[in-house]
Structure 1
Amino acid sequence: MDMNKNRNFKVAACIAHLLAAMPLMAQSSQNSADKVWQYEDVFNIEYAASPEVHPDGYKVIYERRSMDIMSDSVRSNLWQLDLKNKTHSPLLSDSKQYRSARYSPDGRRVAYLTNAEGDNQLYVRWLESGNTARITNVTQGVRNISWSPDGKWIAFTMFKPKAHSGIFKEMPKKPKGAEWAGEATYIDTMLYRRDGGGFIKHGYEHIYIVPSEGGTPRQLTSGDFHHSSHIAWSDDGKSIYFSADRHQDWQNRPRESDIYRLDVKAGDVIQVTNEVGPEYSPKINHQRSKIAYLGFKDKKRSSQNYDIYMIGLDGKDAINLTESLDRPISAHQWDKKGRGLYFSYDDHGQQYVGHVTLKGKVTEKIAALGGQSLGRPYTSGDFSVVGNGRLVVTAANSERPADLALVDKRRSITPLTELNEDFLGHKKSAKVHALTVKSSVDGRDIEAWYALPPNFDGSKKYPLILEIHGGPHTAYGPNFSTEVQLMAAKGYVVVWSNPRGSTSYGEEFANLIHHDYPSKDYNDLMDVVDGMVAKKFIDKDNLFVTGGSGGGVLTAWIIGNTDRFKAAVVAKPVINWISFVLTADAYNYYAKYWMPGMPWEKTEHLWKRSPLSLVGNVKTPTMLLTGELDYRTPMSETEQYYQALQLRNIDTAMVRIPKAGHGIAAKPSNLVQKVGNILAWFERYKEQN
């Protein structure tokens, strides 16, 4: 037999075999890919929020939030749980938005807000019959709904426009059919635009009441002040307590607010508290005629922890119940017997529920919360008091968004929902591990966490992404993050940390960067990178860095100080503190709390800490990424840095996210575009092993 013919026959047979196997191989490859996070999975996410416990303690309504791929938004529907038989069923669930469910005092009705027939109208549903009634027919959105104790009234807040015309009154009359540019916008207020909302309409938020069976809303507050507050009724229903800043110079007092009492019948307003700093979110203990509220004594520090204060209904005998807990408190609820309060707070990168008695005895870490920060691994969570030492919480899990769970008085946890098992149950998610390093600055412990790619192989080398949180006074932790999961699924190890300036470690740690940011937090971050590079599975020649907002500031600061990263993505940054404070939406706050003086007085101080001052050192390929509607860290900051890098011939790109403010992840498609562009930039510069 001819050997060449035999060889040709074998080759042909082999090729035929491979061709026949290709569909199976492609299917196997596709199945393998489907087992890890994909970009389209962003639209499959669901999570639980805002649990509301029935007065009998056996039922819960909550907001079941999901990603609407058609409207590119987060949809909120109302679902209910029976804690006795663990049944789970929809209450109001369709393509509309339903939120802010509040049980009536007798538990027979539930009030809620929906856009089904207008912007945030108030409805009431009779639970036994399933009948619903539209309670308001207003032109502005309703917020902060609260039942009166007898169930006859519902209080709420609503924006009331106020006529505001310019000073020019002699504009010629426009001829019929003429097409002119339109009327000029006249602005004379300190606060005139808001991130996520655009230019602010002229007017004020006021408190209203309306009969719970429908009728005409009656405005209770007046004056050129905002009353956008949690509303607490007195036991007899004759008074309403709320928080506001009713000082004439309120626009120039960004952290001031007081508790007020409003006479429902007469409309008289009496000031209850008058401390320096904020007092807000009053909650009434009817058994003991006490008010609990959140506040702090304002010291003009950039990071200040809220405490729980308790006073009498007359505003006397104020005491700080949580003075012994040096941690930021974010929410509070009275327990069912009125003997103390449950509250949520951050500690070492995790949000927890704690309890404090009327004498200030604090019980910490009753339950861990999480799962509501979908983009990055920030602390988050909701809880609601059931009674008899039980709570409903959004449970913490580094691999899942928020589910509801029941916590009993022994701190045992019973899962109540599994909202994402349908698409995550068969996938491999990134595993999260803890890391602690010593700061090279002063030996302090710096906590960090890292995620390993699915199918991790310890014998291989992996590229590393340093992901930096914003704020800077916020906290990351071992929390769920879509961005981290997507990065890890693409084969990267991702590390995130809480350098000095982060919250959840006490005010002293957070204020180590007061008027000195960025600074030594840079060293803390490099110590974390060194801690990761020391691990045998990290490819030290493939290091990448990114961060958003305060993390964008630090990313730009890093590449101005070191060339160790192959590429960087600077997201929604501050590049120049002088221009930032004069263009950001909350400039009245930043100028007073983040800076030692006005920018024209402290130019040298601010320039020294501006990443733009180091742009001459940058050699790292850098992408800039910001929402086009961002008023918190305006696009002008991004453009300054982009143009400076272009003038220096540094490899750079600018990505402008459409219809996005500072919170890019508000639209699911924008979350995909954000992380997708980051990873595409890193892939361009990654060295192949």
Structure 2
Amino acid sequence: MKASDLGLIQSIGSPSLSPDGGHAVVSVERVDLAADRYYADLWLVPLDGGPAPSRLTSGELDREPCWSPDGRWLAFTRSVAGSGPQLYLLPAAGGDPRRLTSHPLGVSSPRWAPDSATLAYVARVPEAGRYVAPIAQTAASEPPRRITELRYREDGVGYTIGRRKQIFGVDLADGAVSQYTAGDADHEFAAWSPDGTRLAFVAARHADRDTVPARDVFVMSTSDGHVTPVTQTSLRASHPVFSARGDQVYFLGTEIGDRFNETYLNPTSLWVAELTDTGALPAERLTDAETMDLVPTAAGPALAVTDQGVLAMVARRGAVDLVRVEAGGDVVDVISGPTQVLGYDAVGGLVVAAVASDTEAGELSCVTPTGVRRLTAFGATLSAAAPVAPMREVAGTAADGHPVHGWILRPLGAGPFPVILAVHGGPHRYFGWRLLDQAQACVDAGYVVVMGNPRGSAGYGAEHGRAVRHAFGDVDVQDLMALVDIAVDDFGGDPDRVGVIGASYGGFMAAWLAATSDRFASAIVDRATVDWCDSDIDDDVDYTHLYIGADPETQRIKSPLTFAEDVSIPVLVMVAEQDLRCPPSQGRRFFSALKRAGQHTELLSFPGASHMFHDSGSPRHRELRLDAIIDWFDGTMKSRGQDMSNPG
């Protein structure tokens, strides 16, 4: 698989099941490299082994399908001609979709009321005179923004003040739109009560949200607007859902910890709060905080209440499993193995899930009494045209005796092969059983690729995740070096030709290793923070305080920029010019320091790109980035060993 094969990958979203359990609908997304854009269509998938899946829509970007409880309608979001997504309605019996909303900044997260008469959804409400054309086309004439909070921007969005997320409802009978929430806070994750009289949602309404980054669950009466708080500003909550009787609310929640929080060091758990006539009782945690870390979905429900228990997704050693948490506290696997569940839906006892693996971007599967049955083959085009390399699971031991876990991808042939150590972001993200275009392109070019989950990664228990508190560039380095040893000793890796690449936290690590280790021959520092003394990371956590500590001298000696003059290997620095997570100024300063020191370095700057552009940015930028990675490592590691023009 090469960078030019990005257009062969078909990615799927979270499915929606018909109320009778006969069909699922899923959004299937693809890249058009020539047009430099994305397309997404809705597909109808029978569950009874009948006709093959068929395309339902042919819009530009059709996503977030949502079947009405009475089975008559299919709601979804559609983006047309670069505009924000709007809500559309498609008759299940056939016909043309009709548009329901016209919000200037688009909508998301449609949720049906139980009577199928109303759709709730989320939309940003722009401040008058901002964000909406033609006013936005003359931004130079806008008044200045008066900013009073620390959290005022978001990567991929820009300024969030003056365009807060609010929850709306649209009546199908007359098209009337009602705004359910208001105020200077983002409101999201709407969920209906079984009787359709209440909405649960999540918002940060507390006055000290700058330094207490909790998000609370609230329940609102849709008849009079009365709001009842369910949680007490001690959790970062998301994805509420009512119990079958409507007397409880289940939700995901993470303890926030100290000032400026340690949320990212704590696992996400399943919680439940009982609702009474006078309010809500204190929430109870239902999953073990030390061993289970639950995973929210980007779209679709993260939790589903069934007769047997609550369905949820959990991160486990690079896998994402679907589990059922039963009333007695037992956790039962529903879908598990060397895969990642991307999203799911459940109706009665039926479960359908989108499932990815190391060689497949995602397929729909149905859970049956005898096992898990595959329903689709959207990845057939890719597998036929560009066979992908499987991931080989490895385990080892770090220098301090800590167990190490990861994966290695290897080209065909005898080797020795140059090695690329890839470091994930986060650090509380994780590599795992998922098709990764970067890894596949590097294997195709003749490299052994090493991907591991060092201490700090999610999915290995709370102690593993907390190990990097005030310890960046320490225990995580030990784990990564142990994985490089495995690649060299057991997979034909060349010890003299080892490169490192990483983005975000991985970019910090690539810069740190380039400056402090003699193990590497080349490095790519991608969208990194390199100076903790002057970081401007826009997020809900103070990374410097959390991972480095408050002492200025410690921050200085943990900054790769401090040791730029010690770098002796070629370094390619990549920045995204609209990156609000790891600002491009950090990468530019590292490049400048290397250049002034006379080092071999280049700067690759992607115009208009945000922090996550490698996954969801311009397809052309994604292709150029992959090609640049191969070109850089080819150009900087060839001279250290054998010619790589015909690897393997």
* Residue matched to 1:682: 633
Q: Is the 8 A contact 2:292 2:459 kept in 1?
A: yes
SS at match of 1:425: helix
Q: Which digits, 9 at most, give the CA deviation of each residue in 1:403-440, with x for residues without a partner?
A: 11122234x22211111212422543223212211110
Comparing 45-54 with 664-673, greater Cα deviation is found at 664-673
Select the residue among 134, 150, 161 that pairs with 2:115: 150
Q: Is the 8 A contact 2:109 2:122 kept in 1?
A: yes
Tell me by how many angstroms 1:594 deviates.
Answer: 4.3
Comparing 101-110 with 419-428, greater Cα deviation is found at 419-428
The amino acid of 2:413's aligned partner reads: D
* Residue matched to 1:126: 91
Comparing 135-144 with 669-678, greater Cα deviation is found at 135-144
SS at match of 2:561: helix
Check 1:295–1:576 CA distance in 2 against 1; reply closer, same or farther (3 A cut).
Answer: same
Q: Which digits, 9 at most, give the CA deviation of each residue in 1:121-145, with x for residues without a partner?
A: 2221111142433222333312222
Q: Is the 8 A contact 2:193 2:246 kept in 1?
A: no
Q: Is the 8 A contact 1:335 1:387 kept in 2?
A: no
Q: Is the 8 A contact 2:129 2:142 kept in 1?
A: no
Tell me by how many angstroms 1:513 deviates.
Answer: 0.8
Q: Which digits, 9 at most, give the CA deviation of each residue in 1:191-239, with x for residues without a partner?
A: 3322112233513222222212342212222222221x22122222221
SS at match of 2:580: coil
CA RMSD after TM alignment: 2.3
The amino acid of 2:18's aligned partner reads: H
* Residue matched to 2:577: 628
Q: Is the 8 A contact 2:391 2:409 kept in 1?
A: yes
* Residue matched to 1:16: none
* Residue matched to 2:306: 336
Q: Which digits, 9 at most, give the CA deviation of each residue in 1:234-277, with x for residues without a partner?
A: 222221111112112334432x1111111212112121221512
Check 1:536–1:242 CA distance in 2 against 1; reply closer, same or farther (3 A cut).
Answer: closer
Check 1:622–1:363 CA distance in 2 against 1; reply closer, same or farther (3 A cut).
Answer: same
In structure 2, what is the Cα distance between the partners aligned to 1:306 and 1:181? 43
* Residue matched to 1:398: 358
In structure 2, what is the Cα distance between the partners aligned to 1:74 and 1:219? 31
In structure 1, what is the Cα distance between the partners aligned to 2:384 and 2:271? 44
Select the residue among 196, 208, 215 that pairs with 2:156: 196
* Residue matched to 1:171: none
2:310 maps to 1:349 = no
In structure 2, what is the Cα distance between the partners aligned to 1:554 and 1:446? 17
Check 1:487–1:380 CA distance in 2 against 1; reply closer, same or farther (3 A cut).
Answer: farther
In structure 2, what is the Cα distance between the partners aligned to 1:550 and 1:121? 35
Select the residue among 421, 446, 461 that pairs with 2:380: 421
The amino acid of 1:274's aligned partner reads: Q
SS at match of 1:487: helix
Check 1:496–1:267 CA distance in 2 against 1; reply closer, same or farther (3 A cut).
Answer: same
The amino acid of 2:543's aligned partner reads: Y
Check 1:164–1:516 CA distance in 2 against 1; reply closer, same or farther (3 A cut).
Answer: farther
Comparing 290-299 with 444-453, greater Cα deviation is found at 290-299
* Residue matched to 2:619: 668
SS at match of 1:382: strand
Q: Which digits, 9 at most, give the CA deviation of each residue in 1:322-349, with x for residues without a partner?
A: 1266222014433432x31111111111
SS at match of 1:466: strand
TM-score normalised by length of structure 2: 0.90
2:339 maps to 1:381 = no
* Residue matched to 1:432: 391
Check 1:207–1:199 CA distance in 2 against 1; reply closer, same or farther (3 A cut).
Answer: closer
Q: Is the 8 A contact 2:32 2:39 kept in 1?
A: yes
2:1 maps to 1:46 = no
Tell me by how many angstroms 1:73 deviates.
Answer: 3.0
2:265 maps to 1:307 = no
Map 1:501-520 to 2 at 5 A: 501-520=456-475
Map 1:213-252 to 2 at 5 A: 213-227=173-187, 229-252=188-211
SS at match of 1:464: strand
Tell me by how many angstroms 1:662 deviates.
Answer: 0.7
Map 1:460-475 to 2 at 5 A: 460-475=415-430
In structure 2, what is the Cα distance between the partners aligned to 1:312 and 1:642? 55
Tell me by how many angstroms 1:101 deviates.
Answer: 1.2
SS at match of 1:391: strand
In structure 2, what is the Cα distance between the partners aligned to 1:296 and 1:283? 16
Q: Is the 8 A contact 2:410 2:491 kept in 1?
A: no
2:254 maps to 1:296 = yes
Q: Is the 8 A contact 1:135 1:214 kept in 2?
A: no
How much identity, in percent, do the aligned residues show? Answer: 26
The amino acid of 1:449's aligned partner reads: W
Q: Is the 8 A contact 2:468 2:547 kept in 1?
A: no
SS at match of 1:405: strand
Select the residue among 487, 495, 512 that pairs with 1:532: 487
Select the residue among 261, 265, 273 that pairs with 2:219: 261
* Residue matched to 1:320: 285
The amino acid of 2:354's aligned partner reads: T
Select the residue among 566, 571, 575 that pairs with 1:617: 566
In structure 2, what is the Cα distance between the partners aligned to 1:85 and 1:530? 48
SS at match of 2:513: helix
* Residue matched to 2:538: 585
In structure 1, what is the Cα distance between the partners aligned to 2:442 and 2:71? 46
Q: Is the 8 A contact 1:143 1:157 kept in 2?
A: yes
Tell me by how many angstroms 1:588 deviates.
Answer: 5.6
Comparing 669-678 with 419-428, greater Cα deviation is found at 419-428
The amino acid of 1:433's aligned partner reads: R
Tell me by how many angstroms 1:56 deviates.
Answer: 1.2
In structure 2, what is the Cα distance between the partners aligned to 1:536 and 1:502? 24
* Residue matched to 2:514: 559
Q: Is the 8 A contact 1:164 1:202 kept in 2?
A: no
Tell me by how many angstroms 1:48 deviates.
Answer: 1.6
Check 1:643–1:217 CA distance in 2 against 1; reply closer, same or farther (3 A cut).
Answer: same
Comparing 302-311 with 584-593, greater Cα deviation is found at 584-593
Q: Is the 8 A contact 2:194 2:244 kept in 1?
A: yes
Tell me by how many angstroms 1:55 deviates.
Answer: 1.2
Q: Is the 8 A contact 1:275 1:297 kept in 2?
A: no
In structure 2, what is the Cα distance between the partners aligned to 1:344 and 1:631? 29
SS at match of 1:534: helix
In structure 1, what is the Cα distance between the partners aligned to 2:541 and 2:395? 37
* Residue matched to 2:502: 547
Comparing 294-303 with 521-530, greater Cα deviation is found at 294-303
**Which runs of no fewer than 5 residues in structure 2 stay unpaired?**
131-137, 297-301, 643-648
Count of residues in Structure 1 that have an aligned counterpart in Structure 2 = 617
* Residue matched to 1:19: none
Q: Which digits, 9 at most, give the CA deviation of each residue in 1:452-475, with x for residues without a partner?
A: 11xx123x3111111111111111
In structure 1, what is the Cα distance between the partners aligned to 2:139 and 2:16? 52
* Residue matched to 1:17: none
Select the residue among 69, 72, 77 that pairs with 2:36: 72
User: Which has the larger Rg?
Assistant: 1
In structure 2, what is the Cα distance between the partners aligned to 1:59 and 1:429? 30
SS at match of 1:607: helix
Map 1:53-132 to 2 at 5 A: 53-116=17-80, 119-132=84-97
Map 1:480-491 to 2 at 5 A: 480-491=435-446
Q: Is the 8 A contact 2:13 2:63 kept in 1?
A: no
The amino acid of 1:629's aligned partner reads: Q
Check 1:131–1:532 CA distance in 2 against 1; reply closer, same or farther (3 A cut).
Answer: closer
In structure 1, what is the Cα distance between the partners aligned to 2:338 and 2:217? 29
